[in-house]
Structure formats: C-alpha cells, structure tokens
Amino acid sequence: MGKLRFAMCGTGFWAHYQVAGWREFPDVECVAVYGRNSAKARAFAAAHQIPMAYENVEAMLENEHPDFLDIVTNMESHDRFARVGISRSVQVVCQKPLVPTLPEAESLVADFAESGIPLFVNENWRWQTPLREIHKIMKLGTIGEVFRARIDMISGFPVFANQPFLRDLEQFILTDLGSHIFDVARFLFGEIRSLYCQTQKTLPEIRGENVATVVLNAISGTTVVIQLAYAQNPLERECFPQTLVFIEGSQGSLELLPDYWIHTTTKEGTTAVRCAPHHYSWADPAYDVVHSSIVPCQANILSGLRGDRAETTGEDNLKTLKLVFAAYDSARTRQSVDLTTQGPV
C-alpha cells in the first residue's frame, strides 16, 4: 500500500497536535479538514498546508475519497462522524472518549464489526515513553509477581484555561483522565474483575467531578489504586502532565517518579534510569510527555490501517469504557461493581 490519504474532522486544541503528529510519517497525507465554522476550518487548513476545507463531512468524503477519517472533535459528535465513515466504507480513527454512554459505545463498535470496516481509537497515554519502559521492565520479571500498584495523575495545572469546554462536562475527570488511566492499568496489569470508586467536586465553578479515587481488582490478582485530580492545588503542579506509578512485586518494586525517573529496587539494590520523552518541534513543552506519545500511537494505528495488528482498536477501547462507566456506577451507588456481571459485588 502506498501513501495513505486522510481527512480530519475538527479544528480545535488537540487537532493541531494530531495533524502535526501525522506529518511525522512521509507516507501519510492530510487532504482535507472539516470544521463546523467554515472560516476557522479554512484558517486551520492554511496553517497546516491542507489543500481543502469543508463544512460538510459527507461532501468531504464524497469528493476526497480518503483512506481513513480522523475524528478530533467533541465527544458528542463522534458517533455521527464515525457512522458517516461506515456509510462511505472509510476506515475511522477516533479521539477518546469514543462516545458519551456505554450503550452507544457498544452499538458503534458492533456496527463497525458488522460492516467489516476497522475502527481505531487515539488512546495515546499508554504510548508515553516512560510508561512503555515500565511495561518492558515488568515483562522481564525483575520484580517478580506483581501484587499491588498505584497510578497517580494528580495536578494543580489550570487545565480549564486552554480547554474551557471541560468546565461544562457533567462527567469530567473519569471521562477525560480516567479513560486514559484505566487504559494504562489494563495495559500494565491486564483485564479488571471488579472496581470501587469515590468521586468529589472541589471547584464550584465546574459541573462535573474533578477528583476520583478508584480501586481496581485485576483478574491477575493485582490490586491497583488509581488517584485522579485536577484540584488546582499549586503544590501539585510540578509534574503536570506526568503520570506517576508505584508497583510492588514479590521480588522488588518499580517506581515512575517526577521528571521521568524510573527506580527499580530488588535485594541487589536500586537502579535509576531517566526515561524522558522525545521532544518534537511542534509540541508544547508543557505537554511534552503527552504530545510525544501521539506519534508512536499513530504509528501503531497505521499498522492497523494497513491490515496489521493495532493495540487501540474500537473493540479494545470498549473494555476501557466499561471501566469508566462502572466507576460512575460505583461512585453513585457507593458499591463495588463486578465487571463480569456489571452489577454490585
């Protein structure tokens, strides 16, 4: 297969970095962009040297015949644009979260499976350089059998400044950050049997929850504690947007610390390795670890678009979404949720 031509839906904050990531691949070309605001779409196209700008998705796919459609819009529009892809037999790459509810996600993934058209999700968090290294060390068996872990994504960073729409989400941190961190938990520790979640809202000016604590029980036997917060506590800004990890095993421990330091401790002592992300010229230095993970995620999706295996398919992401919505159920009922039955434990 030669050069892959794609069209993009979306011209917002993340779309700029998404299209920049695709430009790292010489065999990929963005041929058109859709935006509901035609002036903004034309400005986006001009800024990124994209030949065509549209304010109608159907017309864009009809005229351009792309190899795939990349959806980087608000969550509420994902289902509609993805189904346009099905109707035009175009492969779809979609930003996370896939859709607002679990029934919608199950329906969309099932319809793609029935159509035979591939669906991929831009779930880039698991592709962060230090997290891939953590996974690699775990697979070597250096710390033995893992029995407990903690994953923290806690920040006082003013995230609402550059993404103001987050203020208005009725479901916020579990949908926005939880979808990333639950996926990381699955990537590192395997599938989840049950979970328990508590949420809090500490900022009066937002609609949804901005603090969550979740306990996952993996099928492997590992207990995983996840702590999420955008509490805007100034003492917690220094690591943004880094994910911190502590893993306990039968023969030692593994820790991902601030500034990308990984400590591996066994009876022989502690080794320390700094595993910093690659910096791209188009990336925001404040988001380096996140923006740099876009590229390996896209590389893996490209393999899927060309017929090989990809990690973050629609079917795989559905397993992560089930954790997100189970967490909301648990927080609402204050009961553990059994993922094998999707009911109280």
Mean pLDDT, 10 residues at a time, the chain of 345 residues: 91 94 97 95 97 96 97 95 97 95 97 97 97 97 97 86 85 93 98 98 93 97 96 74 96 96 97 96 91 97 96 97 97 96 72
Domain boundaries, the chain: 4-95, 128-276+313-344
Instruction: Output the CA–CA distances (angstroms, integers) from residue 315 to 84, 107, 220, 255, 299, in the order listed.
Output: 19, 11, 21, 30, 19
Report which DSSP code applies to 205. T
What is the fold, at CATH topology level, of the domain defined by 4-95? Rossmann fold (3.40.50)
Residue 133's CB is within 10 A of a number of other CB atoms, namely 16
pLDDT value of residue 237: 63
Phi, then psi, of 195 in degrees rounded to 5: -150, 160
Helix (H) or strand (E) holding 5: strand 4-9
Rounded CA-CA distance 70/7 in Å is 6
Please determine whether the domains at 4-95 and 128-276+313-344 fall in the same fold group of CATH. Answer: no
End-to-end distance of the chain based on CA atoms, in angstroms?
49
Position 233 scores a pLDDT of 78
Cβ–Cβ under 8 Å, residues 247 and 222: no
User: How many whole angstroms separate alpha carbon 113 and alpha carbon 119?
Assistant: 8
Prediction pTM value? 0.94
pLDDT the model gives residue 1: 59
Superfamily of segment(s) 128-276+313-344: Dihydrodipicolinate Reductase; domain 2 (3.30.360.10)
